[in-house]
Each structure stands twice: as structure tokens, then as C-alpha cells.
A and B are shown apart, each in its own frame.
Chain A
Amino acid sequence: MSRAWRVARALLGSQYALMLEYRAEIALWALSGVLPLIMLGVWSGSGAGAAAGLSPQQLSHYFLAAFVVRQFTVVWLIHVFEEDALQGRLSPLLLQPLSPLWRYLAAHFSEQGTRVPFVLLMLLLVGLAAPGVLWWPSAGALLLGGLAILAAFLLRFLLQVIVTTLCFWSERAAALDRLLLIPYLFLSGLVAPLDTFPPAVRRLALATPFPWMVDFPARLLAGEPVNGALGFGAMAAWCLLLWPIAHLLWRAGLRRYSAMGA
């Protein structure tokens, strides 16, 4: 068994055990990610979807898929990293021959695993409240949608690594992440499918990484016709662009690290 696989198994195992300890908190987090369901309610009554050429069924499928995408692409790295850096918990992690970022990544995957039953329960409740709104995606949509969700999560994680490295320069870098939340909310497709945007705004949105984080995987999962090659290609391009930036900032940040609190 390769060392990488052993490390991954051990990290995922311990982090999953840890997340199960916090299951009540995770249930509340899952509950707090209902924005797409609220937007579904808002859009269903407005008739604006029809104006954008979307049927009520397409709209409901989109927002339910966006809800699932949102649940499995939540990234909270900056908050835990900032806390660890301020409390001195980061230092022991930096002294091990494994970047602490791998631990945080494993923690995110484990948290997603813990979220699964709560997300299923919430979908069931939606199905009970609005019979007929749920649908069963095709195997292809499930597979491609699942892959796109994973890629979207990795893209969000990478983007947040960049903001997180600013913790080495500022003690309160989490505030910057809140600033990123605004374009994320409006340009990702969480409040409205990208198809409903005015053409100029849509072009602007597509030039950012945000639509690939929600709109693209949600449309794949909902079975909408999308250009898969373009979507996955854009995600790969953004990852290739962000990776070296994250790497350079991380290295520069470590040089500035003062190991406070330790």
C-alpha cells in the first residue's frame, strides 16, 4: 500500500470520527445552506423563469441541484486555519513532514461525508412538502454532476487557500473571505441560473471562476444541456492558474510565520 494512500486513509478515518463528534453542529450547517431552496420558492411564484425560457420543472430541478452542489462545496478552511494560527495549533502541524493543507482537505471531505444523511433528509422533506418536485437523475447526469461537484469543491478550496495564506500577513484574513462571498453569491448561480442573467452580466460572470462552482455542476446534475468539455476545461484552467499562486503565497507566508501563541 503506497504511503499516500495510507496517509489519506488515516487522515480521512480520524477526521470522519472527529466530524461525527460534531454531527449536531454539521446538521445545523447543512440547514443553513438552504438558500437555493428559498430561491426556488421565490422564483416559482414570480414567473420570471418563463421569461428566461425556463419551465417550472427546469427551475425546480436547477435549484434542487444547486442545493446539493452548495451542500458539498462548502469550504471553511480560512476560519479553522485562522483560529489554529492564532491559538498556536498550527505550529505542531507545520513540524510534520506533511503540509497541514492535506489535513484540512481531509477534514472537508470527512465533513461532507457526515453531511450526506442530513442532506438526504432535507431532500426527503422537500419531496414531502412539494410532491413531484423531486426527480431521479440519469446515471450519466449523476456521474458527471458528481465529478463536477468534486471539481467545484476543489476549485473553491484552492481559491480559499489563496485567501487563507493572507493569514500570514493579517491576523483577520477571514474578513476578506466574506468579501468574496458577495461575487460568489451573485455570479455563481446560487440566486438565479446564469441563463436568466442579462447577456453582459452573463459574459462577466463567465470570465470569473464562480459560475463553474454552482451553475455548471447544478445544470449537469439537473440534466440540462451543457457544454461539458467547456465547463470541465474552464475548471481545470482556473485550477492551473490558482495552484501556482497558492503555492507561492504559501511559501512566502511560511517565511513570515511568527508562530504566535506557540
Chain B
Amino acid sequence: MSTIHARDLAKTYRISEKQPGLAGTLRHLVNRCHRDVVAVDRISFTIEPGEMVGFLGPNGAGKTTTLKMLTGLIHPSAGELEVAGHQPWRRQAAFLRQITLVMGNRQQLIWDLPALDSLRVNAAVYGIDEREAQRRIGELADMLELGPELQRPLRKLSLGQRMKAELLAALLHRPAVLFLDEPTLGLDVNAQARVRDFLADYNRRTGATVLLTSHDMGDITALCPRVLLIHQGQLFHDGSLARLTQRLAPCRQVRLELEQLQPAEAFAGFGTIESHQGHQVRLLVPRAQLTERVAALLERFAVVDLEVSDPPIEELIGGLFRQRGEASAAAAEP
């Protein structure tokens, strides 16, 4: 049985709109105008137990709204939804005991108290006996490399230490489903790496299902073999990151470092020139002709270094959304 099953899941918000200025304010007071905004538009997907899935999309794409529906914080406007065998919006205790939501920009721990005080409350709320709670705190603290920090008021901890303490609190009850919304937001490179390692380790040890949103593609590439890509409330891609790259980028990137300076025209016919600066040239070459074009480049020029790679996924996704945004704007024009 799937851990998460969503079919034609939709959420529409009704928002009121006000024109600027005094006249707009007065009009708004007597005759309020409302508009329906479709945040999530009939998306369907399933996630199996133990999967780690990345949830991608630009700001306002509907990621957080979907997470809120999956956790039961908000009611869907339409569609079917089942998480861990429960309908989330019913918010039954048996469901809430199986899930957790970590938001990189929000905290559940009490700001002015040491994390241990909040952990003690969480242990009682989730019915974990004191000895077991101590054992779990010790185990998770080891995995997260936390120690005396847990006894210091939260406000005195660094951002990275706070995030790790938040993760500890969110996982104390051993949830089977983890919803992570930007868990590495604002962390430095080292702290990001530690959080990623921890999440991978937790998934391996417990078999928990993880749905992760992040603007940092490093999180996604390191943790998620599968990604869901959402744009304007609709699901655009459900599959591996590699397949997404292939789908978005019919070309591969060839970076050359040349022994001698060459004019840009010299590369006409080898591919699209992305950049040309001094001895460095970056070309986009169709995948199907990659081998022959690279061989021809090596034959024609004195090459010091050559690297073939996929364009950065962030650029591909950004490019896709720009294209789709322009297309929808063009379609909307009278």
C-alpha cells in the first residue's frame, strides 16, 4: 500500500482584492471583490513506503500548499488524499503520531528555553516513556552531533544548531512520514551537508518516507532519486532527476579550455555558444551528435582541458518556467 496517495488533489483560495488609494479603500469597504486563486490544480501522485522524493517548483508553484494538505493543516478543495492510511484533514491522533513537518523558516521549539525542555514536552505529548525518550534523544543527538547545545536556550544557538535541534524534536516520536520544507534554508555548506547526511541515515535506519522541498538543488540531488516538479499548481514531472534533465535539456554542455585564443566564429557548426571568454568556451551540443562533435573539436583545436556535463538543473528548471510563463502571458493577451 502506498504511503501517500493523491488523486486530482486541488486547492483553491478565495482572496479579496483591493485597488490602491482612498477610493479603492472605500470601494473595498462597501463592495468587497473576491477572486478565486487555484493554488493546486488536480495533481495526482503516489509515494511508496521508504521513498525519498524531492518536491520542486518556483515560489508560488503550490509546493507548500500541497504539503499543508498532506499534513492535514488545510482542507483540500477537491480530490482524494490518503497519507499513512488516513485522510489528513481529519487530523486523527493516530495520523498525527505518524507524521512530522519540518519547516526551515519556522520553529516548534520554545525560543527562550533549552531544547531539552521542549523535548520533554514532546515526549509526554507523544506518550514516549521517560527512559525511552532519553535513549532516543541520545541516539538522535549523536547522529546530529548535538550535545551540550541541547541545554542552552534556543535563542543562544547558531542557525545550524537550531535546525538540528528542530530535526531532533520533529523525529523524537519516530514518524513514518517526514515532510521537510526547506530544511537547509540559511545553513552554511557544512551544516547543509550534515543535515543531508543525517536525513539519508535516518531514512536508511527507519525506512521512513520523505517528501522534501528545497530551493537548494544540492539537497535534492543528494537525497532524492525521484522528483515531483510542480508549476502553477500542476504536476509537470514525476520521475528521476536524470529523466527530468534529459527532458529539459536535449543538449549537453561542453566546456573547453583552449591553448590559443580563437574567435567565436570558429565554433560555428559545433553547437550553440553559451559563453566565450578568453581561452574558455562553453558550447551546448545536441546529445545525439555529442561524440562526433567532441571528436571534431579535439581534432580542430589544441585543447588543454575538456569537460562534458549536463547544464545545472536550476538553470534548466528556471528556463522552463520562464518559457512557460511567457507562453501563458502570450496566450492571455487579447
List chain A positions with a Cβ less than 8 A from chain B: 3, 6-7, 9-11, 13-14, 17-18, 21-22, 88-89, 91-98, 254-255, 257-259, 262
Contact = CB atoms under 8 A, between A and B. Distances in A.
Given A13-B120, A95-B96, A262 B113 contact: no
Contacts of B123: 10
B120 A10 contact: yes
Contacts of A259: 68, 73-74
Interface string B45-58: 00000000000000
B124 interface: yes
B73 A262 contact: yes
B73 A18 contact: no
Contacts of B113: 14, 17-18, 21
A177 to B, nearest CB: 23
A95 B117 contact: no
B17 to A, nearest CB: 16
Interface string B99-140: 111010011101011000110111111110000000000000
B97 interface: yes
B75 interface: yes
A149 B146 CA distance: 45
Given A7-B125, A14-B117, A98-B125, A92 B91 contact: no
Contact of A95 (B101, B107, B118): B101
Contact of B120 (A14, A93, A262): A14
7 contacts: A10-B121, A10-B123, A91-B106, A92-B101, A92-B107, A92-B108, A98-B125
B29 interface: no
A13 B112 CA distance: 14
A156 B276 CA distance: 73
Contact of A91 (B73, B75, B99, B126): B73
A151 B159 CA distance: 43
A258 B13 contact: yes
Contact of A262 (B75, B103, B124): B103
Nearest to B166: A92
B232 interface: no
Looking at A91, A95, A98, A258, which has the most chain B CB atoms within 10 Å of its CB? Answer: A95
Contacts of B96: 95-97
A18 B124 contact: no
A98 B93 CA distance: 8
Contacts of B97: 97
Interface residues of B, number: 32
B166 to A, nearest CB: 9
A88 B106 contact: yes
B66 interface: no
A63 B314 CA distance: 69
Nearest to B102: A92
B214 interface: no
Contacts of B68: 91, 259, 262
A14 B101 contact: no
B71 interface: yes
Contact of A17 (B72, B74, B117, B122): B117
B105 to A, nearest CB: 8
A11 B121 contact: yes
Interface string B1-25: 0000000000001000000000000
A262 B72 CA distance: 13
A140 B123 CA distance: 40
B117 A255 contact: no
Given A10-B123, A14-B120, A95 B106 contact: no
B72 to A, nearest CB: 8
A6 B124 CA distance: 6
Contacts of A92: 101, 103, 106-108
Looking at A9, A17, A22, A92, which has the most chain B CB atoms within 10 Å of its CB? Answer: A92
A21 B114 CA distance: 12
Looking at B91, B100, B101, B125, which has the most chain A CB atoms within 10 Å of its CB? Answer: B125
Contacts of B75: 255
A257 B91 CA distance: 13
B106 A96 contact: no
A23 B89 CA distance: 39
A223 to B, nearest CB: 40
B147 to A, nearest CB: 21
B106 A3 contact: no
A92 B131 CA distance: 25
Given A7-B124, A14-B113, A14-B121, A262 B100 contact: no
A257 B120 contact: no
A149 B123 CA distance: 32
Contacts of A88: 103, 106
Nearest to A89: B106
Contacts of A22: 112
Nearest to B89: A255
Nearest to B68: A259
Contacts of A95: 71-73, 96, 99-101
Contacts of B122: 96
A259 B71 CA distance: 11
Contacts of A9: 124
